[in-house]
C-alpha cells in the first residue's frame, strides 16, 4: 500500500504530529480506528505487516466478538470465507458426544480466517478515513506529560518521528510498545500454548460442524475443529503453558491427536492437511497486566485480555480497542488512563476470575466429565442456555455482578438479527 501524502512529504528530521497513534492493525487496533473515524476524529495506525496477512488463530468468533463487529459496521458478507455456526458438538473425556444448539434469532457463533477478517477490518478503517500505514514498524517511544514521541521506520527503512497526544498499543502478545516501556513481566510467555492447521477436502461431520473435543490429556485445554466454506476446516488444540510441555512434545502431541479415530472420523476420508501447523502463545492475565503507561493504553493481547478458560481473544480485543478509543474521545475528570482502566475492569475482571475458577474444575478428568454430563442431561433449555454462556452471549460472571443485570438477560438476539449472516 502506498504511503499517505503526509508521510511521504515529511522531512525525516522533522516530527509529524498525528493526534492519536494506534500501533497494530489487528482487531483491537482497527476497532479503535473505526471508533475514532465514526466520531470524526483523525487517527493514524501503523503495522509492520502488509495486509492481508495470516495470523495464528482458531478463527472462531463468539457472540461477544460478533456483537462488537456489528457495532463497528461490519457485514459478514464482506468477509471472504465467513461461515455461520448454529450449534456446537461436544465430546467428553470419556467419549460421550452431544450437540448444543444456538438460538436462531441472529448470529451467535461464526468462523472466519484471520487473514480475511483482519484484512476486511483494515479496508473498513481505510474507507472510514483512518490513516493506515502498512509495513511501518515501531522503533522507540518516549513520553512527556503532554505527548508521546514515537520513532517508526517506514517501508523504505527511513526513520520517522510521530508525535501523538495518545498511543493505543494493539500490537499483540509480544507487544513492542509494552516492551519498550518496560511493562512486560520478566520471562512472560503467556498462559496458553496453541497449535493450528488448516485441512482441506473435509468429508466428515467437521465439514459443517463446530466440534470441541475435551481430550483427557489436554485438560483443562481442548482440541477443536471449526468449519470453513469449501470443505475446509481449522483444526487445532490449546493447552495451559503451566504443564511445561516442550516444543517437540507439542509437535508429537499434535501428530498423536490427528491419528485418533474420532478425529479421523470427523475429518473423513481423503482429507488433506494444508501447509504446516503453526503454534502461538496466548496471554490471559488481564487482571494483573499493566493496562496503561502514562499516555499509552494497552489493548487486546498487549493487555493479556484473553478468556483464560477458552483462550478466545478476538471479542476481548475488539472490546478493549473500542473502550480505549472511547476513553480518549470522552475522558472523565479522572483522566484518560483511569477511565479506560475502569471500563476494562468493569467489563472483564469478574468474568476473567470466574473463568479461572471454572478452568480449575475442567482441569481434572472427573470434573470435566461431571460438568459436561450435567449439560448433556439438562434438556434442550439447559443446553441452549449453556451454549449462550459458552459463546459469551452474556458476561461469564453476570449472575454475580448485579450492576450488569438487564431485563433481557439470556434472551438477547444475536448479531445481525434483522439480517442474519449467510
Up-side HSE of residue 324: CA atoms within 13 Å toward CB?
Answer: 36
Residue 307 is assigned to a structural domain of this protein: yes
The owner of cell 477436502 is 201
User: For 186-202, how does the pLDDT look when each residue is reduced to its tens digit (9 = 90+)?
Assistant: 999 999 999 999 999 99
Locate all alpha helices (DSSP H) within 134-232, ordered by sequence. 176-180
What backbone torsions phi and psi does residue 11 show, to the nearest 5 degrees? -75, 120
**CATH code assigned at 179:** 3.50.50.60
Q: Residue holding cell 466520531? A: 39
Residue 235 lies in a domain: no
Do 382 and 373 contact (CB within 8 A), yes or no?
no
Q: Yes or no: say if 257 and 300 are a contact pair by the CB < 8 Å rule.
A: no
Q: pLDDT tens digits for 1-56?
A: 444 434 434 455 589 999 999 999 999 999 999 999 999 999 999 999 999 999 99
Dmax over Cα atoms in the chain, in whole Å? 68
Q: Flag whether 150 is in a domain.
A: yes
Residue 200 carries which DSSP code? E
Structural domain span for residue 341: 5-61+116-188+289-355
Q: Is residue 365 part of a domain?
A: no
Residue 403 lies in a domain: no
User: Which residues are within 8 A (CB) of 280 and not within 5 positions of it... i.e. 6 or more apart?
Assistant: 56, 57, 173, 193, 194, 196
CA distance 330 to 333: 10
247 falls within a domain: no
pLDDT for 243: 61
Number of domains comprising the chain = 1
Are the CB atoms for 307 and 278 separated by under 8 Å? no
pLDDT (0 to 100) of residue 3: 47
First to last CA, the chain: 31
**Does residue 228 lie in a domain region?**
no
139 Cβ partners below 8 Å, 6+ apart? 151, 152, 153, 159
Q: What is the pLDDT of residue 245?
A: 65
402 assigned to some structural domain? no
CA 86 – CA 210 distance, rounded (Å): 9
Strands 210-213, 87-91: pairing is: parallel
- What count of residues does the chain have? 422
Tens-place pLDDT, residues 291-346:
999 999 999 999 999 999 999 999 999 999 999 999 999 978 889 999 999 999 99
Amino acid at each position: 500500500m502506498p504511503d499517505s501524502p503526509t508521510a511521504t512529504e515529511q522531512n525525516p528530521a522533522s516530527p509529524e504530529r498525528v493526534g492519536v497513534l494506534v500501533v497494530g492493525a489487528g482487531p483491537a487496533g482497527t476497532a479503535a480506528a473505526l471508533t475514532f473515524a465514526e466520531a470524526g476524529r483523525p487517527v493514524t495506525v501503523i503495522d509492520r505487516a502488509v495486509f492481508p496477512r495470516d495470523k495464528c488463530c482458531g478463527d472462531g468468533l463468539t457472540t461477544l466478538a460478533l456483537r462488537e463487529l456489528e457495532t463497528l459496521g461490519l457485514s459478514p458478507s464482506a468477509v471472504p470465507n465467513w461461515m455461520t455456526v448454529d450449534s456446537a458438538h461436544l465430546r467428553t473425556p470419556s467419549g460421550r458426544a452431544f450437540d448444543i444448539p444456538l438460538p436462531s434469532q441472529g448470529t451467535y457463533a461464526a468462523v472466519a480466517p484471520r487473514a480475511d477478517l483482519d484484512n476486511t477490518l483494515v479496508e473498513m478503517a481505510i474507507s472510514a478515513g483512518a490513516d493506515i500505514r502498512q509495513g511501518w514498524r515501531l522503533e522507540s517511544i518516549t513520553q512527556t506529560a503532554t505527548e508521546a514521541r514515537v520513532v517508526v521506520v517506514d517501508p523504505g527503512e527511513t526513520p520517522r518521528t510521530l508525535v501523538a497526544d495518545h498511543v493505543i498499543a494493539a500490537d499483540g502478545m509480544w507487544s513492542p510498545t509494552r516492551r519498550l516501556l518496560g511493562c512486560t513481566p520478566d520471562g512472560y510467555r503467556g498462559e496458553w500454548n496453541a497449535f493450528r492447521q488448516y485441512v482441506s477436502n473435509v468429508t466428515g461431520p467437521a465439514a459443517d460442524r463446530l466440534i470441541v473435543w475435551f481430550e483427557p490429556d489436554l485438560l483443562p485445554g481442548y482440541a477443536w475443529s471449526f468449519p470453513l466454506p469449501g470443505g475446509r476446516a481449522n483444526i487445532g488444540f490449546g493447552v495451559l503453558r503451566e504443564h511445561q510441555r516442550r516444543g517437540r512434545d507439542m509437535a508429537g502431541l499434535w501428530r498423536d491427536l490427528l491419528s485418533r479415530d474420532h478425529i479421523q472420523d470427523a475429518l473423513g476420508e481423503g482429507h488433506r492437511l494444508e501447509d504446516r501447523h503453526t503454534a502461538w502463545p496466548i496471554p490471559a492475565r488481564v487482571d494483573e497486566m499493566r493496562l496503561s503507561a502514562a499516555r499509552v493504553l494497552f489493548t487486546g493481547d498487549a493487555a493479556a485480555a484473553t478468556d483464560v478458560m477458552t483462550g478466545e481473544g478476538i471479542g476481548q480485543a475488539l472490546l478493549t480497542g473500542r473502550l480505549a478509543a472511547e476513553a480518549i474521545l470522552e475522558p472523565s475528570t479522572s483522566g484518560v488512563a483511569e477511565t479506560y482502566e475502569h471500563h476494562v475492569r468493569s467489563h472483564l475482571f469478574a468474568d476473567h476470575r470466574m473463568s479461572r475458577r471454572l478452568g480449575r474444575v475442567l482441569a481434572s478428568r472427573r470434573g470435566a466429565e461431571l460438568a459436561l454430563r450435567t449439560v448433556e442431561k439438562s434438556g434442550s433449555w439447559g443446553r441452549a442456555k449453556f451454549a449462550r454462556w459458552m459463546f459469551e452471549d452474556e458476561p461469564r460472571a453476570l449472575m454475580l455482578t448485579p450492576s450488569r443485570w438487564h431485563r433481557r438477560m439470556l434472551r438477547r438476539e444475536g448479531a445481525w438479527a434483522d439480517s442474519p449472516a449467510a
